[in-house]
Amino acid sequence: MKVTESIAADHGLKKEEFAKICKQLNRIPNFTELGIFSAMWNEHCSYKSSRKHLKKLHIKGKKVIQGPGENAGVIDIEDNDAIVFKIESHNHPSFIEPYQGAATGVGGIMRDVFTMGARPIANLNSIHFGSPQDKNTKNLLRGVVKGIGGYSNCIGVPTIAGQTSFDESYNGNILVNAMTLGLVNKNKIFYSKASGIDKPVIYVGSKTGRDGIHGASMASAIFDEKIEEKKPTVQVGDPFTEKLLLEACLELMADNSIISIQDMGAAGLTSSSIEMASKGKLGIELNLNKVPCREENMSPYEIMLSESQERMLIILEKGRENKAKKIFDKWNLDFAIIGKTTNSEKIELFFDNKSVANIPINLLAENAPIYDRKWKKTKLPQKIKIKKDDFKSLNLNDCLKKILKNPNISDKQWVWDQYDQTVMGDTIQKPGGDAGVVRVHGTNKAVAASVDSSASYCFAHPVTGGKQIVCESWRNLISVGAKPIAITNCLNFGNPEKEKNMGEFVECVEGITEASKYLDFPVVSGNVSFYNETKDKSIKPTPTIGGVGLIKEYKKMLSMDFKKEGNIVLILGKTEGHIDQSIFAKEILAEKKGPPPSINLFNEKNIGETVLKLIDQNLIDTCHDVSLGGILIAVSKMCIKGKKGIKINPIKGLINKFQYFFGEDQGRYVVELSKINIKKVKEILDKNSVHYDEFGTVDKAKIIFNNNINLSLDDLENENKAWLRKYMIN
């Protein structure tokens, strides 16, 4: 078949892009080559719209062993231990086929982590669905949760934290972001950079089938009414094979046979082979007849573009082939020598003894297009005007009950119960707290991790929103007693060819960068998902931050459940009553406008570090950060979890009680401490200039505030826990 501009267009390549290919090759590519170009030059693999801006991210730090650009980021957690982690999106496939889309998302991110020699020790996820009233939401939620569980439960890696949100902007584009943490010896990390000429290129894992062909291109396009036709582009996962692949790879990694290793993720054999060669400034020669295929008569085009799961590409030291093969035989996995490294700096493919592709690597990697897309700034919105009368008809009891059952506040146990949270025997904080925590097996250390996003804030003002999520991640880690180390980000946005969407991306990245620099909380890995748009309607900008921190003595870890009657409850950080963009504004005042709460990075850092001091000196028993819903929601959840109540003190100052209780000002924590420690705690807070309110006293099973709130623990729990369960059963 002769390749034309229109065939190239069907592959998602723009007219200018096709012209550039022809010019640089000095000829028209053949069909296989066109497929390879389309796979490497799409947004998903090339980062052509985002690369310019991603360069600004703060990526350096004392604890960073490997920043962005590898399969995953790596941080130092002392004693020769390192944590490998990354978050990745699988949005488009999950909307088309929720179970397989979500499952293979989890499978893919785990491969990214064990490719580097790390054993996965924890999974997290951030999933976002359309309005609960949308006809697709229930099935998508059910399918995604089952898919995530189906894969990670089978591999035997605990899911320790996550986030589930609903917003109508996801009606046509759900988000599924999966994150994995792995543990590795700092001196035994494996990278994807090839080195050495004439080294064998090994294919291991599952056979190659016709599934997922053009998956990466599909993920780089917007959806239209023909979405059903895209089902074949979704990969099919087999967690059992991945479990075998994990064990086999770790077994082979125990010695020094591997030069470099790369999983076959998006764009399969194409991107894995090209990335390895590109990083090593080498060429690669493959005989496609040697690739283990699941189906008959697969063409070179199909073999190169298949996204069949659970496959790895390895460049091995010469002479180690037999030993390596034995390991893969033991685990019943395919093992094939399919080619070798060369000094040509080209990818050269052969099939039936004929050359089927011959492309200089740099055209596919470094020389791929980069766009400086036009973008538009988002102005800080005007503050909403609330009249005093608006509050008059309201009653605190009713507001609290109503917000507790808001889909974004309600308890998500229905989701977590479907994830194995305790396999591997080191989970010391399960989903539902501020962060998930797993012990570093056999040591006194533990690692905390959290995933966060705030699409409403980012939509209202992207720079502030970007800062806010980084701070929220930082606070969640601190709340469990972990020192925050680094983050991974999953940047989910609409169509970058639209100035508004591109502007949201640029400004969120700016906010993320500013906060991560100030907090010394660098970005070590991540991915970008654009084109989350259906029929011209794009999602709210939803950057997701996955934060990781270290607890040096796991016995000092804190949780958010109230512990003991009579203990004192303080709110650290100042409450100004910022109502705009809050759940209260949306749920009670039906008001969606206004700016998000502002971020004061100095305060964030100062309060966070002070809280860590209090925890380190064993002065507080409980800690929880104040986020969505404000103080009263934070405290109610602490009551529910601890099966305790609280007696709230009168509010000091002139602030309106609704604004005080439901305002979403940033940089605040709720802490519980016993009376004997109050003097010491106040001294430390004063010394560090941390503002605090004496909020109340832990009580029996009721939440009481003078004559305004009087609710039993059962009331709170029913409102908070019933919504999702009922929604899913009906």
Closest by alpha carbon to 601, among 445, 434, 467? 467
Site for another protein in 66-85 (CB under 8 A): none
Site for another protein in 89-148 (CB under 8 A): 146
Site for another protein in 139-198 (CB under 8 A): 146, 149-150, 153-156
Q: DSSP character for 250?
A: H
For residue 422, the minimal CB distance to another protein (Å) is: 5
**Under the criterion CB under 8 A, does residue 393 sit at the interface with another protein?**
no
Helix (H) or strand (E) holding 110: helix 98-114
Q: Which of 11, 53, 90, 624 is catalytic?
A: 90
Beta bridge partners of 176: 127
Rounded (10°) angle between helices 321-330 and 239-253: 140
From 86-94, 324-332, 584-592, 639-647, give the range in contact with another protein by CB under 8 A: 324-332
Size of the site for another protein (CB under 8 A): 34
**Under the criterion CB under 8 A, does residue 416 sit at the interface with another protein?**
yes
Number of Cα atoms under 13 Å in the Cβ half of residue 225: 0
Residue that has been written with the tokens 């106040």 in this structure: 682
Site for another protein in 435-474 (CB under 8 A): 439
For residue 250, the minimal CB distance to another protein (Å) is: 12
For residue 97, the minimal CB distance to another protein (Å) is: 19
Can you spell out the DSSP letters for 274-310?
HHHHHHHT-EEEEEGGGS-BSSTT--HHHHHH---SS
From 17-25, 278-286, 292-300, 423-431, give the range in contact with another protein by CB under 8 A: 423-431
**By the 8 A CB rule, do 289 and 250 touch?**
no
Among 1, 389, 425, 650, binds another protein (CB under 8 A): 425
Closest by alpha carbon to 418, among 85, 724, 112? 724
Which is nearer to another protein, 178 or 502 (by Cβ)?
178
Q: Which of 44, 53, 58, 128 is catalytic?
A: 44
d(CA 342, CA 277): 9
Which is nearer to another protein, 156 or 377 (by Cβ)?
156
Which is nearer to another protein, 557 or 634 (by Cβ)?
557
Site for another protein in 229-248 (CB under 8 A): 238-241, 243-244
Residue 44 annotated as catalytic: yes
Which is nearer to another protein, 426 or 580 (by Cβ)?
426
Among 187, 297, 332, 353, binds another protein (CB under 8 A): 332
**Under the criterion CB under 8 A, does residue 326 sit at the interface with another protein?**
no
From 9-17, 108-116, 413-421, 508-516, give the range in contact with another protein by CB under 8 A: 413-421
Q: How many other β-carbons are positioned within 10 Å of the β-carbon of residue 388?
A: 7
**Under the criterion CB under 8 A, does residue 602 sit at the interface with another protein?**
no
Q: Per-residue b/e over 216-244, b at no fewer than 16 CB within 10 Å?
A: bbbbbbbbeeeeeebeebbbebbbebbbb
Which is nearer to another protein, 24 or 418 (by Cβ)?
418
**By the 8 A CB rule, do 462 and 508 touch?**
yes
Residue 730 burial (10 A CB sphere; 0-12, 13-18, 19+)? exposed
**Under the criterion CB under 8 A, does residue 266 sit at the interface with another protein?**
no
For residue 445, the minimal CB distance to another protein (Å) is: 13
Among 166, 190, 331, 660, binds another protein (CB under 8 A): 331
Tokens representing 278?
């590109």
For residue 378, the minimal CB distance to another protein (Å) is: 41
One-letter amino acid identity for 221? A
Number of Cα atoms under 13 Å in the Cβ half of residue 442: 3
Among 38, 50, 260, 427, binds another protein (CB under 8 A): 427
**By the 8 A CB rule, do 232 and 250 touch?**
no
Among 328, 457, 554, 661, binds another protein (CB under 8 A): 554
**Under the criterion CB under 8 A, does residue 718 sit at the interface with another protein?**
no
Which is nearer to another protein, 310 or 664 (by Cβ)?
310
Among 99, 419, 505, 584, binds another protein (CB under 8 A): 419
**Under the criterion CB under 8 A, does residue 558 sit at the interface with another protein?**
no
Q: DSSP character for 373?
A: -
- Separation of first and last alpha carbons in the chain: 53
487 φψ region: left (φ > 0), alpha (ψ -120 to 50), beta (else): beta
Which is nearer to another protein, 240 or 602 (by Cβ)?
240
For residue 724, the minimal CB distance to another protein (Å) is: 13
Among 131, 342, 408, 418, binds another protein (CB under 8 A): 418
From 50-58, 255-263, 552-560, 578-586, give the range in contact with another protein by CB under 8 A: 552-560
Among 25, 336, 337, 423, binds another protein (CB under 8 A): 423
Closest by alpha carbon to 143, among 123, 122, 127? 127
Which is nearer to another protein, 149 or 522 (by Cβ)?
149
Residue 53 annotated as catalytic: no
> DSSP H helical segments within 285-382, as ranges?
300-305, 321-330, 361-364
3-state SS, residue 407: coil
d(CA 297, CA 585): 60
Site for another protein in 494-523 (CB under 8 A): none
For residue 426, the minimal CB distance to another protein (Å) is: 8
For residue 428, the minimal CB distance to another protein (Å) is: 5
d(CA 347, CA 496): 30
3-state SS, residue 648: strand
Closest by alpha carbon to 600, among 659, 509, 687, 666? 666
**Under the criterion CB under 8 A, does residue 313 sit at the interface with another protein?**
no
For residue 476, the minimal CB distance to another protein (Å) is: 20
Contact residues: another protein, CB under 8 A: 146, 149-150, 153-156, 238-241, 243-244, 330-332, 416-428, 430, 439, 554-555, 557
Give the active site residues. 44, 90
